[in-house]
Every structure is written in C-alpha cells, then in structure tokens.
Amino acid sequence: MSADTLATARPAVELEGITKRFPGVVANHDIRITVAPGTVHAIVGENGAGKSTLMKILYGMQKPDEGTIRVSGTEVAFRTPSDAIAVGIGMVHQHFMLADNLTVLENIVLGAEPKKGGRLDRAAARARIERLAETHGLRVDPGRLVEDLGVGDRQRVEILKVLYRGARILILDEPTAVLVPQEVEELFQNLRELKAEGLTVIFISHKLDEVLGIADAITVIRRGTTVASLPRSEVTSARQLAELMVGSELPTPETRESTVTDRVAFQVGHLTMEAGGHHPAPKGVPVEEYVAKLRADGKRLLLDDVSFAIHEGEILGIAGVEGNGQSELIEAIMGIRPAHGSITLGELDVSSWPTLRRRESGIGYIPEDRHRQGLLLEASLWENRVLGHQTRKPARKGIWVDRRAARADTERIVRDYDVRTPGVDTLALALSGGNQQKLIVGREMSGEPKFLIAAHPTRGVDVGAQAAIWDHLREARAAGLAVLLISADLDELIGLSDTIRVIYRGRLVAALDPSDITPERLGGYMTGAIAGTEET
C-alpha cells in the first residue's frame, strides 16, 4: 500500500496530543500517531521511551492526562480495557496474559463467555474458536492446559483471544521478544493474513530489522514523544531508524584496544542444567557421560554442555534471543540454581560453593532485572549498598553491619558513579531506572571483583546513564576485570565485547569476532538460521 492511499482512508486509530504524567515524570508527551486501516503500523523506540505507557493508554489500562483518541473517526475515552474491547481494539501483551491452569478455551472466552441456560457453553465456544483458528491459520487445541503450551502456541492463544472479541485493531507489544526465528516467521505470516482480511495491526518493537520486514508505516518515539512518522518506503536502513530512536548521535560502545591477557580469570566446563529439577550425577560418573545419557533419554536441557573461558581484561559477550538459557547460565554461575559441570574462578573450583562464598571470592553480578534481583526497593540506598556485601568490608564489622562505613562508601558510589539522589537515606524506589542501575554497577564494582556478570547492564536506562555504564565497564576491563556480558542490545554486545558467543536453546552455537561482524549476521546466528542448519 502506498503512502497516498494511506492518507486518504479514514484512519483506524488517531492519537493526538497524548500526554501522561506520573509523579515527577512525564511518560508521554504530545504523542501524535495516525494509523491507516488494513496496515501494519510499527511503533519503535528504545526501552523506556514510553511505548508501553502509550499502549496502556490506547488499551484503556491507563487514562491520558491530555489529548484525544479517535477510533475510525469517532472520539473515544476509555476507562477500562472493556471500553477498548468494545470499539474493536485488542491487545497482545508482551508478557503473556494467560492463566496457566486454565485451558486454551477458557483463556480465550474469559470475559466474553457464551452462555446457555446459565452455564458456560463450551461447545459453542469450541466451535467458534476452531472456526477462527482455521480462517486465520492459527492452529491450537482448545482443550489443552495453557501450562503445557510452548511460547509460540501461547502467542497464538493471545491473538485468538483478541480475534474472539471481534477486534479489528490489534496491538502487539514486543511480540517477538520471546520467539525463536521460525516462530517469528510464522507470526509474521499470521499478521500478513490478518492484514489481508482488512484488520489493522499496531506492532510495537525495538527490533528494527523485524520492523522493516513487516511494517507498512513506522512511527518513532523518543523520550516520550513522537519524533517521526514515515511510510516504510521512505525508510532506507535500520541505521536511519536507530538514529531517530536515540537522537542525533548514536552512542557507540566501542572498546578501543584489546586488554585481553593470557591469564584465565573464569571458566565453566560442560555446564548443564536439566529442565525437570536437578538430579545429581551418581558418584564416579563423569559429567560428560551423565549429560550424554540425559540427552539420550530425551531430557530437556536448559543449559546444554556450555563451556567457555574468560581471561583477565576480557569481555565475553553472550548473544541470544531471550529465553535461550541466559538466565539459567547466570543462575548456575551464581550458585542460585544447581547444575552439572565445573565452574572455576582463577584457580578455585567454586562449583560446589554457596552463592555467598562465590561472591566473597570475587564474583560480581549486575542482575538482568534490577527490581527483582538487584535492589531492596523499600530500603535506603546505603542498605542497598550492603546487599550482597554483608560479609565484607566496609559493610561489615564482626557480626555487625557497619552503618557509618556503609553510608560513607555509598556516598563515594553516589559521587563516583554520578547517582542522582537527594541522599543516601533515600529509598531506592525513589530513583530513576538509570540511577538505580548506576548504584548497582557501583556496588558490584566496589567489591573489587575478579569476575563480573553484567546482564543487560543498560536495559531501560537513559542514554546518558548508558554511556556512563559503558565507560565504567571499559575501565574495569582495562584494570584486568573479566566480564561476562549478556545483552539483547546487539550494538552494545558488538561494541563492548572482545569475543562473542551465541547461545541458542541452551547451547553455545557460535564463537564470533566482534570486529568483523554486523548485527545482521549476529542476528542470523541467534535465530539459528545460520548456525544450526548448515553446520551439519
């Protein structure tokens, strides 16, 4: 569809001057978007640019402070999602909104149940779902428990849920984040079919290649406001979009010269994790053999024979689509979840050590989800400084927590890492994401770690904080720190890493040199499109 026809049709959705403030924060500011009917319209922006808030507004989960929403020309005001559903808007959430212990059928009809004489009319519901599934090519068994479904199936259930309610406008929030490549292709196929039937799709993403592959028009959001809106035909490259997304200068996390030494700082060998709970290998059986047996028995492995070594002064980047074993790798290294195989820090075999001892001996950890694993949100900054360092100076004095020293050291972190805060007694939750993250980076660096896990270290932080965190990582690397960098941001990975390994379905499938690789090729390995097939 060309740009001209887009302009003439009555827009399916029209947002004008949408503004949303949260205490002390403006999440959306004067957002203007026009979505033509029967198109796939992508909304792109960095994490934290305000996409999610915008979608919640459009789906009635939050009310805008200013601005108007028009659907097919009529102005609407949503109080709840039901209002949005009523005018034909449906949303497929990034984190699936499914009840695991209910069947597919139950999940789909929930809130719009067909009834017959007071009871839930399962037969009618089933017939309708099967009809929908058939016409849109979304096959799924209505009788199964959602618990037993894979990720792709779950997403199809989500889409069916929306279609079941007669939605003509579908919002998909980061739909590909959790999918493997074949599933992404299937999804896109489904979306094209939906489009062909005249439905409108709003596709939210920060993955530019995918956006370019599916969208008819693209709107870019930066810092809570729309900065550009173009038809696909006017977009020449992903680079162009990326620059719109982050502003004029694209921060490049390039590490200049190599500081890699020949001293191995950290090593894992044959790291393997079972899906159905850990069963220790019988005595005397080598790990390799036991793992081979597990594989032969058809056991699902979350980590499958992962081995790598990181030298002092080296950053090893792990690339991969989320959910391919990254979290499990981190948890195994930190000693949070048991796994088979060896973990060696310097000369020490730490694989049987508890988490605390691993940390004490020099493993630092910047967690992937800072709110879940990194912070006590309702505690002060200095208490958060103590977290993970309870047993070490300066936080510790015998059996006591050394409050004065902990405060003083927190003040040092606040100064050195430029944490913007009124004081060290402020609660952690009062800080912005970037400042929280800088505090965590400062804390993990302060233990003088020999080895640092940095999982998505700049996720959801503003550009300034991102650059600062990259600088800190680079400095630490120059000082001889070994870093395991796990990130979904390919530019970050390529720019910072000395070596890149790709993780796919729990296996390390490729080792790449970041100096001669493009995000496009890396993406190929991550999705299994390159490595998995032709090597055999």
Partner 1 sequence: MTRVRKYHLTLIGVAALLLVMSLVRIITGENDITSSGTFNAALLLAVPIGLAGLGGLWAERAGVVNIGLEGMMVLGTWFAGWAGYQWGPVAALVAGLLGGAIGGLIHAVATVTFGVDHIISGVAINLLGPGVTRFLSEVLFKEGTRASAAGAGITTSPPISGSAWTPSLPVLSDGPDLLGKLESTHWFLLSDLAGILRGLTHDVNILVVLAVLLLPLTYFVLWHTAFGLRLRSAGENPWAAESLGVNVYLTKYVAVVISGAFAGLGGVFLVFVSNKYVEGQTQGRGFIGLATMIFGNWRPGGLAAGASLFGYASGLQLRSSGAVTTFFLFGAVLLLAYLVIQVRRLLAADRPAELAAGPARQYTLMAFAALGMVVLFWLWLTVEQLPNEFVFITPHVLTLLVLLVASQRLRPPKADGVRYRRGEQH
Partner 2 sequence: MPAGLNRALLTVAGAVIAIVLAIAISSVAIIAAGASPLDAFAAFFDFGESARAQSNGVAAFINRAVPLFIAGLAVAVGFRMNLFNIGVEGQYRLAAIVAAYVGSTFTAPAPIQIAVIIVVAALTGGLYALIPAVMKVTRGVNEVIATIMLNYIAISLTSYLVRGPFAGQRAAGQLTTTTPELPESAMFPNLNVVFDWFGALPPTRGGGLQGFLLVAIVLGVVVWIVLERTRFGFDIKASGLNGPAALASGVNPKKMVIAAMVMSGGIAGLIGLPEILGDKGAFNSNFTAGLGFLGIAVALLGRNKPVGIAIAALLFAFLDRAQGSLQFAGVPSSVVTIIQAVIVLLVVVANEVTNRLALRLEERRAAQQLGRDNPVEVTA
Site residues for partner 2 per CB under 8 A: 22-29, 47-50, 52-53, 94-95, 223-225, 334, 336, 354-360, 365, 367, 371-380, 383, 386-391, 396, 399-401, 403, 420-423, 425-427, 429-434, 460-462
Q: How far is the CB of 530 from partner 2 (least distance, A)?
A: 32
Q: Which of partner 1, partner 2, none does residue 282 bind (CB under 5 to 8 Å by kind)?
A: partner 1
Q: How far is the CB of 454 from partner 2 (least distance, A)?
A: 14
Does 154 sit near partner 1 (CB under 8 A)? no
Is 172:92 a contact under the CB 8 Å cutoff? yes
Nearer of residues 108 and 439 to partner 1, judged by Cβ: 108
Nearest to 91, CA basis, from 34, 147, 51, 135: 51
Does 238 sit near partner 1 (CB under 8 A)? no
Report the 10 Å Cβ neighbour count for 149: 20
Does 385 sit near partner 1 (CB under 8 A)? no
Does 389 sit near partner 1 (CB under 8 A)? no
Q: Which of partner 1, partner 2, none does residue 356 bind (CB under 5 to 8 Å by kind)?
A: partner 2
Does 172 sit near partner 1 (CB under 8 A)? no
Q: Which of partner 2, partner 1, none does residue 360 bind (CB under 5 to 8 Å by kind)?
A: partner 2
Stretch that binds partner 1, among 54-62, 126-134, 340-348, 528-536 (CB under 8 A): 54-62
Nearer of residues 136 and 357 to partner 2, judged by Cβ: 357
Rounded Cα distance, 536 and 528, in Å: 13
Could you tell me which residues are beta bridge partners of residue 500? Answer: 317, 512
Q: Tally the residues of the chain.
A: 536
Rg (CA), the chain: 25
Among 7, 17, 25, 111, binds partner 1 (CB under 8 A): 111
Q: How far is the CB of 170 from partner 1 (least distance, A)?
A: 14
Q: Which of partner 2, partner 1, none does residue 82 bind (CB under 5 to 8 Å by kind)?
A: partner 1
Q: How far is the CB of 173 from partner 1 (least distance, A)?
A: 11
Nearer of residues 26 and 110 to partner 1, judged by Cβ: 110
Among 1, 26, 97, 529, binds partner 1 (CB under 8 A): 97
Could you tell me which residues are beta bridge partners of residue 21? Answer: 26
Nearer of residues 258 and 390 to partner 2, judged by Cβ: 390
Nearest to 440, CA basis, from 422, 425, 453: 453
Among 2, 74, 119, 248, binds partner 1 (CB under 8 A): 119
Q: How far is the CB of 47 from partner 1 (least distance, A)?
A: 16
Is 183:11 a contact under the CB 8 Å cutoff? no
What is the phi/psi pair of residue 161, to 5°? Answer: -55, -45
Q: Strand 315-319 and strand 119-120: pairing?
A: unpaired
What end-to-end distance do the CA atoms of the chain give, in Å? 41
List, edge to edge, every strand of the sheet that includes 169-173. 89-92, 169-173, 200-205, 40-45, 217-222, 225-231
Query: Left (φ > 0), alpha (ψ -120 to 50) or beta: where does 296 sit?
Result: alpha
Nearer of residues 311 and 359 to partner 2, judged by Cβ: 359
Stretch that binds partner 1, among 80-88, 263-271, 424-432, 493-501 (CB under 8 A): 80-88
Could you tell me which residues are beta bridge partners of residue 504? Answer: 507
Nearest to 226, CA basis, from 465, 49, 359, 70: 49
Q: How far is the CB of 97 from partner 1 (least distance, A)?
A: 4
Nearer of residues 358 and 370 to partner 1, judged by Cβ: 370
**Helices then strands, each counted (H, E), the chain:** 19, 24
Among 99, 123, 348, 478, binds partner 1 (CB under 8 A): 99
Orientation of helix 181-196 relative to helix 122-136, angle to 10° = 100
Q: Each residue of 265-295: b (16+ CB within 10 Å) or e?
A: bbbbbbbbbbeeeeeebeeeeebeebbeebe
Q: How far is the CB of 244 from partner 2 (least distance, A)?
A: 16
Nearer of residues 291 and 455 to partner 2, judged by Cβ: 455
Does 76 sit near partner 1 (CB under 8 A)? no
Q: Print the SS3 string covering 300-363.
A: CEEEEEEEEEEECCCEEEEECCCCCCHHHHHHHHHCCCCCEEEEEECCEECCCCCHHHHHHCCE
Does 100 sit near partner 1 (CB under 8 A)? yes
Q: Which of partner 2, partner 1, none does residue 536 bind (CB under 5 to 8 Å by kind)?
A: none
Three-class DSSP category at 434: helix
317-356 mask for partner 1 (x: CB under 8 A)? ----------------------------------------
Among 14, 59, 138, 304, binds partner 1 (CB under 8 A): 59
Q: How far is the CB of 455 from partner 2 (least distance, A)?
A: 11
Stretch that binds partner 1, among 76-84, 229-237, 246-254, 350-358 (CB under 8 A): 76-84
Three-class DSSP category at 17: strand
Is 170:162 a contact under the CB 8 Å cutoff? yes
Binding site for partner 1 (CB under 8 A): 59, 61-62, 80-82, 85, 91, 93, 95, 97-102, 106-107, 109-113, 115, 118-120, 161, 165, 279, 282, 293, 297
